[in-house]
Structures are given as structure tokens and as C-alpha cells.
Structure 1
């Protein structure tokens, strides 16, 4: 199954909405944990509050990857200012170089040259 990376920025001024949606967000992540390789909050410069988050996860298609972020309770609550989702390929995992192995997924497509 393909991997995707989602980078998410929090919308300023939504701290109360974030607090209200936090438990539902945690439940959502627990339910989705089987498809998440790694994920968590990106902290502000003071390391005291979340600025956004990053998730690397499996999804069948780009549309399925979009649903992963769209259905997150924090997104539904309107607390995100930007979400970017891109296909992702593993090169290193758990301190091991894995590029080209079945665990890393299919290799990058090679462009066809004329």
C-alpha cells in the first residue's frame, strides 16, 4: 500500500476549538493507528504548544489519503489553516536503510526520456 505524508498547520486563534476536539482527535488517531507509520505534533519555537503536525501513513489512493486528514476531528472543528498531502517513499526506517526493499514500497518511477 502506498505511503503519504501530511503536513498540517494549525489556524491561529483556534485554541478553544482545538481543546474541545482534542479527545475526539486522540480517539480518531487510535482508530487509525494501524495505518500510521509515524505522526505527531510539530511544536512552536518555545516547544510549549503545537504549531501543526506531521503524519506518514498508508492509504490506497491520494483520495483516501485526503479523507484521512479531512475526517480528523481537528480538521472538522476548523482548527487547521493548511494541509499538504504528498506521496512518500521510505529510504530509512528505524535507523535502517530500506530503500528498494518490499517494506519501503515500490521504487520511484523512472521518467521516460525521448
Structure 2
């Protein structure tokens, strides 16, 4: 199953985000799940939170939710919102590689 995490940073937690960035990256790189793509958006407009997406291939949504909950950014409340959902891609150049 392909799952997506769409997270929006809390602009008021910028210092915490900077402090935890290397831990967050290490957590993603060391993941026991298969992360297909991950990364932040372009810099946000002034006063708006940046966004980040993780796309992964997992057995269950619960498996990914557990993984997401352990992310240092999630644990520290760096994200203002985190949405996790199953995604069913149906078209695109990368579809055959999933």
C-alpha cells in the first residue's frame, strides 16, 4: 500500500525545527519502512508554515502511522498539522516502479 504524509510546520517552532533537523533526517534515512520519496516544499510565504511530504510503501496504514509518530519533528510538535492517508496512484511515469 502506498501512503502519504502531508505535514505543515508551525512557524512558531522554527528554532525547534532547526535544532531537530539532523535527527529528523537520520530517522528518515534509518527507516525500517520503504520510503519512496520525501522532502520539503519550496520556502513558504512569510508567516506560513513550510510543508513536507513523505510517500512510502508499507503493509498497513497503522505501520506508517507508528513510524510517523516516532519522527522527532512529530514528537516535538514541529508540525502544526500532519495528515496520513492511503494513496492509490493510477497514472504516471513512476507507476510501473511501485
Shorter-normalised TM range: 0.7 to 0.9
Question: TM-score scaled to structure 2, two decimals?
Answer: 0.82
| Counterpart position of 1:111 | none
Q: How many residue pairs align between the two structures? A: 96
Unmatched segments (≥5 aa) in structure 2: none
Distance 1:7 1:96 in 2: 20
Distance 1:64 1:75 in 2: 16
Give SS of 2:74's match. helix
Deviation at 1:20, TM superposition (A): 1.2
1:90 aligns to 2:89 (yes or no): yes
Deviation at 1:68, TM superposition (A): 2.0
Deviations 1:46-83 (A, max 9, x none): 7xx97020111022211111112111111111111111
Answer whether contact 1:42 1:50 (CA < 8 A) is retained. Answer: no
Larger Rg: 1
- Stretches (4+) displaced over 6 A: none
Deviation at 1:7, TM superposition (A): 0.4
Answer whether contact 1:41 1:53 (CA < 8 A) is retained. Answer: yes
Q: Specify which structure has the bigger relative contact order, considering alpha-carbon pairs within 8 angstroms and separated by 6 or more residues.
A: 2
| Counterpart position of 1:28 | 27
Distance 1:97 1:41 in 2: 22
**Structure 1 vs Structure 2 CA RMSD:** 2.4
